[in-house]
Amino acid sequence: MSKLNTYEDAVAAYEPVLGLETHIELDTRTKMFCGCSTTFGGEPNTQVCPVCLALPGALPVANRAAIEATIKIGLALNCSIAEWTRFARKNYFYPDMPKNFQTTQYEEPLCEEGYVDVTVDGKPYRVEIERVHLEEDTGKTLHVGGATGRIHGATESLVDYNRAGIPLVEIVTKPVPGTGALAPEVARAYVTELRDIVRSLGVSDVRMEQGSMRCDVNLSLNKPGAEWGTRTETKNVNSLRSVERAVRHEVRRQSALLDEGIKIIQETRHFQEGTGETSPGRSKEEATDYRYFPEPDLAVMEPSREWVEELRASLPEPPRQRRERLQAEWSLADKEMQSVVNADAVELIESTIAAGAASSSAVKWWLGELSRRANEAGEELGALQITPAQVAELQGMVDDGRLNDKLARQVIDGVLVGEGSPAEVAQKRGLEVVSDTGALEAAVDEAIAANPAVADKIRGGAHAAAGVLIGAVMKATKGQADAGSVRQIILDKLAG
Amino acid sequence: MSDRIIDQTAAELSAGIREGRYTSVEVTTAFLDRIDAIDGTVKAFLHVDREGALATAAEVDADIAAGKETFALAGVPIAIKDVVVTKGMPTTAASKILEGWIPPYDATIVERIKTARMPILGKTNMDEFAMGSSTEYSAYGKTLNPWDTGRIPGGSGGGSAAAVAAKMAPLAIGTDTGGSIRQPGAVTGTFGAKPTYGSNSRYGLIAFSSSLDTPGPVARNALDAALLHEAISGHDPRDSTAIDAPVPPVVAAARAGATGDLSGVKLGVVKEFKEGSDAAEPGVIAAYEAAVEQLVKLGAEIVEVSCPSFAYALPTYYLIAPSEASSNLARYDGVRYGLRAGDDGKHSLEEVMSLTREAGFGPEVKRRIILGTYALSAGYVDAFYGKAQKVRTLIKQDFEQAFESVDAIISPTTPFVAFKFGERTGDPYQMYLADLYTIPSNLYGGPGVSVPVGLSEGMPVGLQVMGPVMGDDITYRVAAAFESTQDTLLADTAPEIEGK
Amino acid sequence: MSTISREEVAHLARLARLEVTDDELDAFAGQLDVILESMKTLAEVDTDGVQPTSQAVPLVNVFREDQPQPSLPRDAALAGGPDTFEDRFRVPRILDEEA
């Protein structure tokens, strides 16, 4: 267990320099170099062929859709697109990599020199992108016999090659200096923005929890004004929160070593989800030598400028710009918009508005009641069993006076457990505002008779006291009355 | 001319089957029986599929009896070099590391052979992973040269060449990375063609050196080879390096050449080949020069051309090919197929991989993997692999320029006749010299054929005809023209092999 | 002065996952030395400004459409495996992530 400084002490003494390498699995229908399906969760070794199993004699052919998706990502990250680019082989042995080389890109990536702008604590940061290139994913290895399915202590492993050969886009930032104490937040904001950009392009589902987006965090520390320090590369960082935690932990760990005059060694570390710490990979016998060389089995690529412009024209509005536009349209304060973004509710609210709800109502439902339900269930907001259209329908019923807020919440109960649309739930559960005036008047009369003192006060002009009578009426009608109507009836009856 | 079926050319067999003079089953049986009789001596085959071959033959016979349309070579049996993947039939590349592997798919050229309904006799021996020039590096024993069983049949495709030379198959498939079709052809008195790179699919060809490997035909004469060439050629969407263009008309060219007219054809002789010919045996040079005289008599004009970078072709090749091979052969790790060694519960996966590769690869393969690893490793890649790629560009340019002034280039196929077993295995560099003249066409990508032209010390000598990229037709025309000057095919004069 | 030492050959063998014997090391070191000596002649060639050739006949933009093709039947995919278990390829314990 390594010694740690407090985060505050660490960033007071050292300046962090960040770097992020992100891998994104594309959701093309077929793999990068063969026609096998990429569907997630298939039975083991059912989505494999001579090419992705690296059988002797098999040859790769590049998937045009993957090239297009990569160019789109590059364009969305403000990169320039190579006029001449090719694949290369990265040679090293690993059992879930069938050819024992990875087909990737080396000196000539598809996209270079871009940037992503993020805002943290109201301050803008520009994260510069060094390169975006295309490669292939590995298979998946199941470690057997160890304590927790981890590699250490396992007695054997089982390999499934369904994932081998799925197109993978690697996005590498340039070193990001100058973030100071905000390094963890900037790292998280960058990864979040990158995820939103890629999601908006519709080329990947970018789900960190399913592994379709994976992050490596590079970090070094230096004394103010000194040269940049030696960096470590932390792998296995597989949630937005982990990105933040991994940076924070490395800052604390490295600073403690540096304080003692110990040099940081350039190494690969692994993030441990459980403890939030990083641990070293086994030290290598000798330096890795990947022996890159141009892939002789694939043709070079020269994306035509017409093709690139066509793809550029097809890009959606950038998420950041879109957020700014929506914030204005929805009249939200910065803080509120931030909550919407944090809750991952932008699309949900937008769809709810598109289905007919007012923006204020849409925001209110998703950030209020529905966020609360999601929290209780430990689910993402988007995973709740209610659609934006249903939320709009619910709000419509409130607007029509058929539901009040309390009833609406009960309707949500039904929708979430699959009882049907809001209208169906209201009908099935008998959840309608009582609008029969005769019944309401009778209930009011009863309440007046039971509370003569209160009635007198109201007659005397103390309208605020009507609340007691309203409460009694609501109780009598089991909440199925519209409080506004009840109040009006009471005031009418007790008017001078 | 003998009446024996096995003495017939593929073209004659094809006509005979079609015209009902014999059935494909009779033809196929004749070759299978020949294999049974003498392959115990020659050892050209690693696997023989009597049942499968006869089944295909019977289908062809039924189709012909029913008057159905058939492909040109339907019913004519063929042998396939064991580096080409055949579904359901063992494929080892003559390596222990693939012992017992039964592929679940067919190479594109095998699909085309099956489409053409050619009975597949079996798989032929070769140097392990096609690395060698003598077939001595097969993990399954050496193949003997039918002309002198104390000598090598060439390599890497010694099995295919010996099978055709000893009349165990009328046709065979070979693969050529630096001369593996042409040099065995030359030293066994058979005809071998390396087509233009990319004109024949490599899909299902076990990779040695991806930018050099080319499958092609082995036959007894130019026309037979051309018929097979057209049957297997053509674009394949599964090979990204396959050229999407019409196949050069090689059959028509072979027929045109057979008329014996080469007037107006300019044949280049590379000055530097001659200057560098101290490696070549005098008898080989003599037979080659006699052949050139014949070509002149047919009307060809001999023009001297210069390829100044020729001297660097051999080192260039022996950097590029092992580099690509070191990567191509990384997949043999004992995980998904083939041999696994040392998995005793004590060794880690990493150790098992190393033990598997140690047990599974022979010395020449290991030597080339290490050489290639070296040429690609940090610190050396620029001086070796990178430099070789640049010199390759210069060699290409030399030949492109030469082909602006000549139609084809001629040379001896290999500097020496079949050497004796063991003569060059101790000194790899002496072995590599066998490919001195054949390597350039692999480097520039163009076609090259080897046609038997005579004997030296009683052993066959080949003439190589090289053409420009996609100029395969001219190489066949020149070779067929030479054949027209001969009373008998050299292949028909081989000594009779005694069965064991 | 040799171009390649016995130690270098051993290092290359490890990179290439080859477990070579001492005898092989001796033989290879000597043989590779001869081969590499001949390759050094390439240094004589002036290649300034020369583009490298990676492919015999260079082609550009060879792509496949994103249309699924049948995969191998699982039994066929696993049939060649030296050791399989529960539809996966079984391997001995792995020392570490990515070497």
Q: Where are the domains of chain B?
A: 5-307+397-493
| 3 state SS of B62 | helix
pLDDT bin (cut points 50, 70, 90) of residue A284 is: low
pLDDT at C17: 94
Total domains in the fold of chain A: 3
Do A142 and C88 lie within an 8 Å CB cutoff?
yes
CB pairs under 8 A between B and C: 183
Asked which of A258, A277, A311 is the last residue of a domain, the reply is: A311
**Catalytic entry in B180, B199, B233, B411:** B180
Residue C69 placed within a domain: no
Q: Is pLDDT of C2 > 70?
A: no
Measured between CB atoms, which of C42, C80, C82 is closest to B388? Answer: C42
Assembly ipTM: 0.96
B81 belongs to the catalytic site: yes
- Taking only residues 374 to 393 of chain A, the set having a beta carbon closer than 8 angstroms to any beta carbon of chain C reads none
Q: Which residues pair with B74 in a beta bridge?
A: none
Question: Measured between alpha carbons, how far is B319 from B389 in angstroms, rounded to an integer?
Answer: 9
Q: Is pLDDT of A275 > 90?
A: no
CB-based contact, A294 to chain C, within 8 Å: yes
Measured between CB atoms, which of C4, C18, C79 is closest to B358? Answer: C18
Over range B375-389, report the average pLDDT. Answer: 91
Residues contacting residue A313 through CB under 8 Å, at least 6 positions apart? none
- Residue C95: list chain B partners with CB under 8 A: 348-350
pLDDT at C97: 53
Neighbours of C83 (CB within 10 A): 15
pLDDT at C34: 81
pLDDT in tens, B428-481: 888 888 999 999 999 999 999 999 999 999 999 999 999 999 999 999 999 999
Q: Is pLDDT of A286 > 60?
A: no
The percent of residues in chain A predicted with pLDDT above 90, rounded, is 54
Average pLDDT of every residue of chain A: 90
pLDDT in tens, C56-87: 888 999 999 999 999 999 999 999 999 999 89
CB-based contact, B55 to chain C, within 8 Å: no
A39 and A187, same domain (yes or no): yes
Asked which of A253, A276, A311 is the last residue of a domain, the reply is: A311
B233 belongs to the catalytic site: no
A230 and A277, same domain (yes or no): yes
Residue A1 placed within a domain: no
Nearest to B462 by CA among B414, B401, B400: B414
Over range B181-193, report the average pLDDT. Answer: 98
A20 and A126, same domain (yes or no): yes
Question: Measured between alpha carbons, how far is A435 from A388 in angstroms, rounded to an integer?
Answer: 28
Residue A18 DSSP symbol: E
Instruction: Find the helix packing angle between B10-18 and B50-65, rounded to 10°.
Output: 50
Which residue in chain B is spatially nearest to C42 when comparing CA positions?
B312
Per the listing, tokens 């030290």 go with A283
Neighbours of A284 (CB within 10 A): 12
pLDDT in tens, B281-317: 999 999 999 999 999 999 999 999 999 999 899 999 9
Do B366 and C77 lie within an 8 Å CB cutoff?
no
CB-based contact, B100 to chain A, within 8 Å: no
At residue A158, what are phi and psi to the nearest 5 degrees?
-125, 130
- State which residues form the domain around A213: 7-311
Supply the CATH number for residue C20's domain: 1.10.20
Supply the CATH number for residue A483's domain: 1.10.10
Closest-CA distance, B249 to chain C, in angstroms, reads 19
- Residue A54: list chain B partners with CB under 8 A: 331, 336
A346 and A324, same domain (yes or no): yes
pLDDT bin (cut points 50, 70, 90) of residue B156 is: very high
pLDDT bin (cut points 50, 70, 90) of residue B365 is: very high
- Site from C45, C71, C88 to mutate, B interface, most B CB atoms within 10 angstroms: C45
A307 and A321, same domain (yes or no): no
Residue A66 placed within a domain: yes
CB-based contact, C81 to chain A, within 8 Å: no
Over range C34-54, report the average pLDDT. Answer: 88
Total domains in the fold of chain C: 1
Measured between CB atoms, which of A50, A59, A89 is closest to B240? Answer: A59
Indicate the burial class of B26 (C-beta count within 10 angstroms; 0-12, 13-18, 19 or more): middle
- State which residues form the domain around C23: 6-42
CATH topology assigned to domain B5-307+397-493: Amidase signature (AS) enzymes (3.90.1300)
B180 belongs to the catalytic site: yes
Closest-CA distance, B323 to chain A, in angstroms, reads 9
**Catalytic entry in B14, B134, B156, B160:** B156
Measured between CB atoms, which of C52, C65, C87 is closest to A43? Answer: C87
Closest-CA distance, A184 to chain C, in angstroms, reads 26
Question: Measured between alpha carbons, how far is B40 from B35 in angstroms, rounded to an integer?
Answer: 8
Nearest to B64 by CA among B29, B26, B102: B26
pLDDT at A211: 87
Residue C11 placed within a domain: yes
- Residue C35: list chain B partners with CB under 8 A: 318, 371, 428-429, 432
Measured between CB atoms, which of B103, B237, B333 is closest to A61? Answer: B237
pLDDT bin (cut points 50, 70, 90) of residue A94 is: confident
